[in-house]
């Protein structure tokens, strides 16, 4: 099992990869193959999910979640600014997680362990998945 600090580092690395690929999308922001999400839609989803996972961590740690309004992201620049806001919220949630907290009950999506660790792993992998999808579109 990774430590809480290692999980935070993985999340930061995946967030940086997501940030980097959004920054180079340019004119492809609204382009997508048939039946697939546009980069804009992917970014709107992934950035809001950052806060959703953080909210689940806040709840598991018995802290008060932050209010978050899902906003349309008209440009890659707007997405990058919103990603920074989401990162601030998420980092506030994960900053106080210690190794002993990783086994606290939590509510991740999918087949992840139902623990704080599972929430963090879910957040890490979710960003990685969407960064990889966007990278294919560059």
Residue pLDDT, tens place only, 75-134: 999 999 999 999 999 999 999 999 999 999 999 999 999 999 999 999 999 999 999 999
Q: What is the CATH number of the domain that holds 81?
A: 1.20.120
Which domain, by its residues, includes 91? 4-26+37-137
Residue-wise pLDDT for 1-22, tens only, equals 899 999 999 999 999 999 999 9
CA-derived radius of gyration, the chain: 15
Residue-wise pLDDT for 30-86, tens only, equals 999 999 999 999 999 999 999 999 999 999 999 988 889 999 999 999 999 999 999
pLDDT of residue 124: 98
Tell me, yes or no, whether 32 lies in a domain. no
- Helices marked H in the chain: 4-23, 39-60, 76-94, 116-137
Tell me, yes or no, whether 80 lies in a domain. yes
Torsion of CA 132, 32, 50, 82, to 10 degrees: 120
Question: pTM score, two decimals?
Answer: 0.95
pLDDT of residue 26: 85
Phi, psi of 96 (to 5 degrees): -95, 0
pLDDT of residue 1: 82
Tell me, yes or no, whether 31 lies in a domain. no
State how many domains the chain has: 1
pLDDT of residue 23: 96
Question: What is the band of 138 on the pLDDT scale with cuts at 50, 70, 90?
Answer: confident
Tell me, yes or no, whether 72 lies in a domain. yes
Tell me, yes or no, whether 76 lies in a domain. yes
């Amino acid at each position: 099992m990774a430590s809480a600090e290692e999980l935070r580092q993985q999340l930061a690395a995946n967030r940086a990869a997501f940030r980097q690929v959004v920054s180079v999308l340019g004119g492809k922001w609204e382009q997508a193959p048939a039946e697939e999400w546009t980069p804009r839609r992917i970014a709107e989803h992934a950035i809001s999910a950052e806060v959703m996972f953080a909210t689940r961590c806040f709840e598991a740690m018995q802290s008060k979640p932050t209010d978050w309004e899902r906003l349309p992201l008209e440009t890659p620049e707007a997405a990058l600014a919103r990603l920074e806001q989401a990162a601030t919220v998420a980092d506030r949630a994960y900053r106080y997680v210690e190794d002993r907290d990783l086994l606290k009950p939590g509510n991740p999506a999918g087949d992840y362990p139902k623990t704080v660790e599972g929430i963090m792993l879910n957040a890490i992998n979710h960003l990685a998945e969407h960064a990889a999808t966007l990278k294919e579109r560059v």
